Amino acid sequence: MRARAISAVHLLLLLSLSHSPPCTMAGKILVWPADFSHWFNINVIIEELVARGHNVTVVTHSATSSVKTEQSQGYNVEIIQVPYTKQDVFNTLDTMFKYWVNEVPNDNLIQGFLKIKEIIDQTTYKNQVLCRELFAREDLLEKWRKERFDVVLTDPMYMCRSLLPLKLNLPFIVSLRFSFGNSMERLCGQLPTPASYVPAVSLGYKHRMDFLQRVKNVLFNFFQDFLFIFLNALKWDPFYTEVMGKPTTLCETMGKADIWLIRTYWDFEFPRPLLPNFKFVGGLHCKPAKPLPKEMEDFVQSSGDDGIVVFSLGFMIKNITKERANTIASALGQIPQKVLWRYTGEKPETLAPNTRVYDWIPQNDLLGHPKTKAFITHGGTNGIYEAIYHGVPMVGLPLFADQPDNVNHMKTKGAAVMLDFNKMNTEDLKQALNDVINNPSYKESIMRLSRIHHDQPMKPLDQAVYWIEYVMRHKGAKHLRVEAHNLTWYQYHCLDVAAFLLSVIALVVFIFVKTCKWLFRKCCRKTAAKSKKE
């Protein structure tokens, strides 16, 4: 009787538990995002956090053109005044494109290196100005300390972000695709990256590498680590030390991150070892398609059975050279599909009637449209994930940053054709589109990736939010941080242990040899003496 009563109480308890919302307190979150496509990605997380009742404060600067600062967004905004304008930021970007897309590919190694160095110097300079402005605001830091945030969410694309949680003594979460070709994750996050089967970012290798590729992989990692360490030692470690008032490095500070939210997943990555505090949430911004605007839908429907091709080089590429635009437009004119091209530059003369140019396209809705046959993309992570989500094969025209690596992943997985934007001719592009649309292997490959993407225990966005709330519930996630953070390099590789064991073996061998020699000598002497006697 009693047992039954207890089990009834249990049942009631269980029922009431399963009906109450999961036990999450509304928390306070401080977000310091980066701009442009990085903002787009983190904004999706912010919206979800706001929808779940969390109190979110976003830190931005007066020259941002990404972060919406109206009250209606549902989050609080703190704007840091910087002595440069939106236009300055765009000018830096324009220089970057001019160099990276149009000039560096034709430069020799030295010229190219100097131009890339100039771009890095310019962005680092702007970034440090912003950091200086923020950390000079003692009043603001004091206010934030009083407001008692639970966690800081930030994007380490701009390097000084990890100082903020340290100054406020808060746990923090970083969101990134990769930083410095994995060097930050490897060196600061302690993410194991065996060079034998984890190809370096931007080499374009598969996880199965032959001997020479492994040699290059090891050397490339060394080279990238060297640059990363050198750049930090030169530009960031002194800044970190200055702000903290004691010797501090960027890498040790990044290493304190509680959770790393990486913007990829196994639909994209090759299998590799992970750490408990690395969570892969690629494609968290992807959503089912919404209906298209009427005019656009009519155009799409007019394509009949041939379907459409969606083309975008991202919102940052506003203009390309006349010659490139004409090459592209005449290739597009030679395919039976209709093409929707997002492009704000001058209309190319060779534009054919099957191609329409738009200032802006609802990319996700177009990629999710049943008539879409292919996606021509610069290979930004966001666009690649929309294509994976909706299962659309790609022609990649990567330009810079993570784009070549992204497209390479899709190419090695059989879901994309990659072309060199600067060198391709009309025939190349036409051929690539024909292949991707008419050779079923591309569609099959991207559908396979799409199935992998959708078959997860938790949607990527839910997972990202789960881990943020997890850090708030546990006041950090230091219990997921490996001890490797506290080891020296020779301890990490057990070189001290190896040295010790080798010494022991050497000692044993030494004693053994010595003993043998001694015994042998003794024996010899005895037999010698014996034979003498006889």
Site residues for ligand NAG per CB under 6 A: 28, 55, 76, 147, 319, 321-322, 345-346
Work out how close the CB of 317 gets to ligand NAG at its nearest, in angstroms, rounded to a whole number: 11
Give Cα separations from 185 to 162, 278, 379, 515 (angstroms).
Answer: 14, 9, 22, 52
CA-nearest of 187, 185, 186, 169 to 177 is: 185
First CA to last CA distance, the chain: 103
> Of 197 and 358, which has the nearer Cβ to ligand NAG?
358
Query: Least distance from C-beta 226 to ligand NAG, angstroms?
Result: 37
Structure tokens belonging to residue 374: 């292919």
| Residue whose CB is less far from ligand NAG, 50 or 244 | 50
CB-nearer residue toward ligand NAG: 55 or 202? 55
User: Which lies closer to ligand NAG via its Cβ, residue 93 or residue 184?
Assistant: 93
Q: Which is nearer to ligand NAG, 321 or 527 (CB)?
A: 321
The least CB distance from residue 322 to ligand NAG, in Å, is 6
Compute the distance between CA of residue 274 and CA of residue 279 in angstroms, rounded to an integer.
9
Nearer to ligand NAG, 75 or 265 (CB): 75
* Nearest-approach distance from CB 326 to ligand NAG, in angstroms: 11
Residues 488, 485: Cα–Cα separation, whole Å:
8
Tokens of 64: 């941002």
SS3 assignment, position 177: coil
In our burial notation (b when 16+ CB lie closer than 10 A, e otherwise), range 405-443 reads bbbbbbbbbebbbbbebeebebebbbbbbeebbeeeebb
What's the closest the beta carbon of residue 359 comes to ligand NAG, in angstroms? Answer: 11
Amino acid at 435: D
Residue 332: partners with Cβ closer than 8 Å, 6 or more residues away: 309, 311, 339, 341, 351, 352, 354, 355, 429
Dist. CA 373–CA 46, nearest whole Å: 32
Residue 201: CB atoms within 10 A of its CB come to: 24
Residues in the chain: 534
Minimum CB separation of residue 344 from ligand NAG in Å reads: 6
- Taking the complex as a whole, the smallest distance from the CB of residue 28 to ligand NAG amounts, in Å, to 6
Q: Cβ closer to ligand NAG: 319 or 438? A: 319
Question: Shortest approach of ligand NAG to residue 488 CB, angstroms?
Answer: 41
Whichever of 149 and 265 has its CB closer to ligand NAG, that residue is: 149
